[in-house]
Amino acid sequence: MRRISQWFFLILFLFLFIKTAYKGTDQIAYPVRIFLHFDPLIMVTTFLSSHQVPQALFLSFITVAFTLVFGRVFCGWVCPLGTLNDFMGRFAPKERRKEQQGDRGQRIKYYILFFLLVSSLFTLQITGLVDPISLLIRSLAVTVEPVVNLMVHVTFDLFYRADIPGVTAISEPLYLFLKRHVLAFRQPLFYQGVVIGLIFAALLAANLYRRRFWCTHLCPLGALLGLIARISPMKRIVGDQCNSCSLCVQECRTGAAADREGAWKKAECVMCGECQEDCPQDAVRFGFASFNGKGRRAGIDLQRRGVIAALLAGIFMVPLVRINPLYKRGQGKLIRPPGALPEEEFLRRCVRCGECLKVCLTNGLQPSLFEAGLEGIWTPRFDFHIGYCQYYCTLCGQVCPTGAIRELTQEEKGRTKIGLAYIDKNRCIPYAQGIECIVCEEHCPTPDKAIKFEVAEVMTKKGRKKIRRPIVDLNLCIGCGICEYKCPLHDQPAIICTRLGETRGEDFLLPL
């Protein structure tokens, strides 16, 4: 039943991930952010950092309730990253599976949890960097999906070019189905794809050294659920028929079966039940009622100095990242998605899950590196060299799990200013070369064109002539970036968008 549950939730997670995309309509028809809403770590840190919790995050109390009753069942039965770690752990050498119960690295995840809670209390929200659900979505969106998408296109293109009788008749309908229901609307490209992909690959490869390495050593959500599980009435009892064969100790994937004497690290147990299934003497039992046998419970192996160091690190990390000048240097081009909260509040809520990056219709949303300082790493920003903000698209607000990006209607979206466009007259073709160019005006999506023309008389080799030159109406421009994206000067566009003039907060809409 546990394996069925794991694969069911993993398939559900991947299905919702695929549906987090533009599919010919401006509405997401599925609850694609539901796994994030059931994540209590995101709820707690969002509350601590912003003092507000979106209503949908209260679903995480269901996870807490199950943990209070049954222990860490979320980690062993539901978590999609835990399932992937379990799968990768099957490839670990047999000698690596033995005698893992004495691993002191289990305490590291509790120190990470304390660090995150304290830093969130002081308004630094960086939980999304290491939260397992956010980490998995971000890794799949920024790295795995672009790679798979490209490989599928290349493979079917080879089939088409080979034109092998019978193969094309099968491959083309399959390719059409994948394009409609699975593949991205256009090939995704992300600046941070290699870095995020290497981190994800390293976490999966760590299972070859230690099964469920991420879960046992680094996962802060697992640490939080482990603390809650300590008061669960669920018990593990080792019966008197136990002959101390230590099979349960050797095979326990999380090191919860602490020793041959039957001690049990309740906070580490993910309730997989394999020790009960594998016991040759049928001596291990799980349940709520006590029965004859020995059932000692081992505590969490934490050091006082480690806890204090984690708490102090969480406190001092806040001013440390905010004295960095990188944010001020890059803020002019730091354009956030439409509906984004004011910058400080946005950073307190954004969990870097990558849902908005994946759903962006033009691929214009990219993960930040240092454009917003160290505090804003991997938060979404627009890069108008890659894509632009589609005028009628409101998908990013629909998938944001914490309300860092407001959910807008199409009418509200058309009145939301994310920046302003400026013309570099030293590069603009009509200004610098005296040749007409209407590309930016032609693509401007606002109903009353924000880019208009003025007629000017210029001197050329053939004498004076009149041409139309573009000008930007700053009252109508919403900073969507399509003019910068479409500018024929691809190396360095002659029209650029900056965040100056952006409208965010309660009065984020332009007047009618």
Give me the pLDDT at residue 352, please: 95
- In b/e form, how buried is each residue of 311-346, taking b as 16+ CB within 10 angstroms? bebbbebbeebeeeebbeebbebbbbbbbbbebebb
* Residue 198, both tokens: 């290497």
Judge whether 27 and 393 are in contact, CB under 8 Å: no
Q: Which of 178, 3, 9, 181 is nearest to 79 (CA)?
A: 9
* Residue 378, both tokens: 């991997």
Average pLDDT over residues 353-361: 94
pLDDT band at 374 (very low <50, low <70, confident <90, very high): confident
Side chain identity at residue 367, one-letter code: P
What is the enclosing helix (H) or strand (E) of 141? none
Answer whether 231-299 and 324-413 agree in fold: yes
Compute the mean pLDDT over every residue in the chain, rounded to the nearest whole number.
88
Q: What is the DSSP string of 254-273?
A: TS-B--TT--EETTT-----
| Candidate from 94-103, 133-142, 369-378 with smallest mean pLDDT | 94-103
pLDDT band at 194 (very low <50, low <70, confident <90, very high): very high
CATH architecture designation of domain 420-498: 2-Layer Sandwich (3.30)
Q: Among 22-36, 281-295, 321-335, which range has the highest average pLDDT? A: 22-36
CA atoms of 154 and 484, how far apart (whole Å) = 30
Give me the pLDDT at residue 24, please: 81
Give me the pLDDT at residue 90, please: 86
pLDDT in tens, 240-258: 888 878 788 877 888 887 6
53: how many CB neighbours lie within 10 A of its CB? 18
pLDDT band at 211 (very low <50, low <70, confident <90, very high): confident
Domain ranges of the chain: 1-227+303-323, 231-299, 324-413, 420-498
Q: What's the CA dihedral at 211, 216, 306, 111 to 10 degrees?
A: 130
Strands (E), 220-346: 235-238, 264-265, 284-287, 297-298
Q: Which of 377, 378, 54 is nearest to 45 (CA)?
A: 54
pLDDT in tens, 308-333: 999 999 999 999 988 877 655 556 67
**Fold (topology level) of 231-299:** Alpha-Beta Plaits (3.30.70)
Give me the pLDDT at residue 512, please: 45
Give me the pLDDT at residue 227, please: 94
pLDDT in tens, 398-456: 999 999 999 999 899 988 999 999 999 999 999 988 889 999 999 999 999 999 999 98
Judge whether 504 and 335 are in contact, CB under 8 Å: no
Average pLDDT over residues 148-170: 89
Instruction: Give the CATH number of domain 324-413.
Output: 3.30.70.20
pTM exceeding the 0.85 threshold for the entire prediction:
yes
Angle, helices 193-205 vs 80-89, to 10°: value is 60
DSSP character for 480?
Answer: -
Average pLDDT over residues 169-179: 91
